[in-house]
Amino acid sequence: MENNKNISWQTDNCLGCKYFVPNDVLNADILERGKCAHPSLVKFNLVVSGRDWCNLFANMSESRRQKLIDEGFKKDDEQQKKLIEESKKADSFD
Ligand code: SF4
């Protein structure tokens, strides 16, 4: 099965901000929540959605966006492999 490589990211809000660290990168275009890693905000342990915003917004570079997406696919692949292994054990889901 081929992965969907055409993920769209909204801009000018947390989703397009370089400080946004989404919980689920692969679903980050549908109201995904995450953390804000801005140096002056991180101490507040904010939970922000991709559609939030603030005046400290800074554009995410294309390379960072691609890195996050690649990490998301890698994490998803690892999770899938683990699930396949677990499904082979008869009592895994009891
Ligand atoms: S809260 Fe502000 S700094 Fe933090 S991710 Fe959202 S736009 Fe960026």
Global confidence as pTM: 0.76
Residues in the chain: 94
Give the residue whose CA is nearest to atom 6 of ligand 1: 14
Around ligand 1, the residues with Cβ closer than 6 Å are 14, 17, 19-20, 36, 38, 41, 48, 52-54, 56-57
The minimum-distance atom of ligand 1 relative to the CA of 57 is 7
User: Is pLDDT of 19 > 70?
Assistant: yes
Q: What pLDDT digit, counting tens, does each position of 71-89 carry?
A: 999 999 999 999 999 998 8
User: Is pLDDT of 43 > 80?
Assistant: yes
Tell me the DSSP string of 26-56: GGTTSS-EEEE--TTTGGG--EEETT---TT
In testing the pocket of ligand 1, which one of 9, 11, 20, 44 has its CB within 8 Å of the most ligand atoms?
Answer: 20
* pLDDT at site 28: 72
Domain map (residue ranges) of the chain: 14-87
| pLDDT confidence bin for 45, thresholds 50/70/90 | very high
